[in-house]
Amino acid sequence: MRIRSTASAALLATAVTGALLATAPSASAAASPVQISKVQYDSPGTDTRSNKSLNGEWVRLQNRSKSTVSIKGWKVTDASRHTYTFGSVTLKRNQSVTVYTGKGTNTTASKYQGRGAYVWNNDRDTATLTDSKGKKKDSVSWSRPGKGYVTS
């Protein structure tokens, strides 16, 4: 934009300041573009610790923004600090990625922690999502076995 006079520059400055003031509160409280959408913390059936059962528990993230977002270096942790770190993963608008506890072959939509033990407690736990700088972006908690999953 060209500025033709100090008057219009002043108006522009006022407009910009106003816009910043108007957006600052919502920006500070803005939801993360990528959020935890569901945690299946109790794998269906008896917890036999088989790989199939281990993969019966998982956490799913969804890009709820309008933009494509890279989550490379983002982490999902439980209350005991079991951590899964994402490699090069990019999520388009509405796209989801599911992280299974057990072993498997990673695909675009499915990632595997490769563990031999469960991560998510059936009775109570918290799944926390942090970005590559360690900033908390989202969390989901549960405090009883309930349905075995929680959505958000």
Using CB under 5 A as the criterion, which residues of the chain lie in contact with Ca ion when the complex forms? 42-43, 47
CB of residue 122 to Ca ion, shortest distance in Å:
7
Q: Which is nearer to Ca ion, 42 or 78 (CB)?
A: 42
Number of separate helices (H) and strands (E) present in the chain: 2, 11
- Give the separation between CA 15 and CA 42, rounded to whole angstroms: 52
CB of 142 to Ca ion, least distance (A): 14
SS3 63: strand
Beta carbon of residue 77, minimum distance to Ca ion (angstroms, whole number): 21
Nearest to Ca ion of 114, 148 (CB atom): 148
Nearer to Ca ion, 47 or 114 (CB): 47
Residues in Cβ contact with 147 at an 8 Å cutoff, skipping those fewer than 6 apart: none
What the block records as the tokens of 79 is: 């209350």
